[in-house]
Amino acid sequence: MPQIKFLTLARHIVEEERKYPGATGELSSLLHDLSLAAKVISLEVNKAGLVDIIGFTGDNNIHGEQVKKLDIFAHDMMVRAMDHGGHLCVMASEEEEDVIHIPSRFNIGKYVLLFDPLDGSSNIDANVSIGTIFSIYRRVSPDNGAGTMEDCLQKGSQQVAAGYIIYGSSTIFVYTAGSGVHGFTLDPAFGEFIRSHQNITTPKKSRIYSINEGNYLYWHPGLKKYIKYLQEEDEKTERPYTGRYIGSMVADIHRNMLYGGIFMYPADSRSPNGKLRLMYECNPMAFIVEQAGGRASDGKNRILDIQPKTLHQRVPIFIGSEADVKLVESFIAKEEVKAAK
C-alpha cells in the first residue's frame, strides 16, 4: 500500500517551534487559535448562498439567534477565538475604530494581533473568493498590563508572523513566521488543515498584472505608461502581459504568488493614499510576499519600512514578482523626475 504522507498545520507549527529552543509555545498557540477561527469562518462562508434559500434573511435564524452580516460574524469569531488565550495584550480589526482590549485576566500576553476578518467582502454574494488576513507583533509596551495603540502602530518589518486564509474553491491557510511561506488546505472530511504548499516561492518575473483599470483616468502618468508598456507586443520581454483582476486582494495576491504576477492598488487623483489599509492588509501581505521572494512597495518605499501613524491608514501598494515591482517603481520615478524639471 502506498504510504500517504501528510502533515497537519498543528504538527507543522509544533515542528517549526522545535527549531527555536527558547520558544515558549505562545506563538504556536496563537496560530492554533487562528486556525480554529478560520475553520468556523470557512464553514459560515460556505453556507452564505443558503441564507436566502432557507429564509435566514430576517433578524433571527431558526435557532432564534440574530443573523449577522458575514464580515461582522467573522470579526466576532476572531475576537472570541483570540481574546481568552492569554497570549495577546491587544488586538485591532478593520471592523473596529479603536483598538480591541483583551479582558484584564488575559491581557498579559506578549503578542499583538491585527486582522481584517473578511477581505474582499463586496464579493461575498457573487461566490467569489474572499479571505481573512492577520498580522502578529511582539508587544512594545510594559508587559504588566493592557496593550496600547503603540503596540499596534509598529512598522511591518517588526512582524513576527503573518498569514491569510482564503475561502475559495477550497479553504487554504497560508502563513509565515519569518522562515518561508507555508500553505495548508482544509480537508472538509477531517476538518484539518493539511500541508499542500511547501515553502512557496514566487517567480522573480511574471506575465500577469492585476489592477482596477476603471481608475485609469486618475492614475499617475508613470503608472499609465507602465500599463501601456505591459500591453505592447515584445517577445523578448514576454509582452503583452495578461490581465487578471478578481477585486479581492487575498485571492489576487494568492494567485499571483503561485503563478507570478504584480498586484497594484495605486494612489490616484481621487484617492491620494490609495484604498487598501496598511496595518492589516498591506503589511501582512508584504511580509508574506517578501518571504516568498517577492517585493512590495508604495511605488517608492518598501511597505514594511513605512512608519504607521494611525490604525486604519491607507497606502498605495505594488506587490508581487520582484522584477515587475521594480519596473513599475522605475516608471513612476522617471515621470517624477520629468515633472520636477
- What residue ranges bind ligand FDP (CB under 6 A)? 119-123, 212, 247-249, 275-276, 281
Question: CB of 154: closest distance to ligand FDP in angstroms?
Answer: 21
Query: In the chain, helix, strand, coil percent, each to 5?
Result: 40, 20, 40
Residues 261 and 294: beta-carbon distance below 8 Å: no
Question: CB of 122: closest distance to ligand FDP in angstroms?
Answer: 3
CA 156, CA 286: separation in Å to the nearest integer? 8
Between 132 and 176, whose beta carbon lies closer to ligand FDP?
132
CA 247, CA 239: separation in Å to the nearest integer? 23
Question: CB of 25: closest distance to ligand FDP in angstroms?
Answer: 33
CA 58, CA 253: separation in Å to the nearest integer? 35
Between 99 and 264, whose beta carbon lies closer to ligand FDP?
264
Between 95 and 324, whose beta carbon lies closer to ligand FDP?
95
Question: CB of 53: closest distance to ligand FDP in angstroms?
Answer: 23
Closest CA to 138 of 97, 177, 99: 177
Question: CB of 244: closest distance to ligand FDP in angstroms?
Answer: 12
What string of DSSP letters covers 10-53? HHHHHHHHHTSTT--SHHHHHHHHHHHHHHHHHHHHHTTTHHHH
Q: Which amino acid is at 102?
A: I
Residues 176 and 170: beta-carbon distance below 8 Å: no
Question: CB of 252: closest distance to ligand FDP in angstroms?
Answer: 6
Between 120 and 203, whose beta carbon lies closer to ligand FDP?
120
Cα angle value 170/75/120 (rounded, 5°): 50
Between 83 and 281, whose beta carbon lies closer to ligand FDP?
281
What the block records as the C-alpha cell of 328 is 513599475
CA 182, CA 163: separation in Å to the nearest integer? 9
Looking from the CA of 61 toward its CB, the CA atoms found within 13 Å total 12
H-helix or E-strand containing 174? strand 171-176
Nearest 5°: phi and psi at 233? -95, 130
Looking from the CA of 4 toward its CB, the CA atoms found within 13 Å total 4
Question: CB of 177: closest distance to ligand FDP in angstroms?
Answer: 24
Between 122 and 170, whose beta carbon lies closer to ligand FDP?
122
Cα angle value 138/141/143 (rounded, 5°): 80
What the block records as the C-alpha cell of 259 is 503563478
Between 79 and 251, whose beta carbon lies closer to ligand FDP?
251
Question: CB of 70: closest distance to ligand FDP in angstroms?
Answer: 12
Between 34 and 246, whose beta carbon lies closer to ligand FDP?
246
Between 89 and 276, whose beta carbon lies closer to ligand FDP?
276
Question: CB of 215: closest distance to ligand FDP in angstroms?
Answer: 7
Residues 113 and 157: beta-carbon distance below 8 Å: no
What the block records as the C-alpha cell of 36 is 480554529
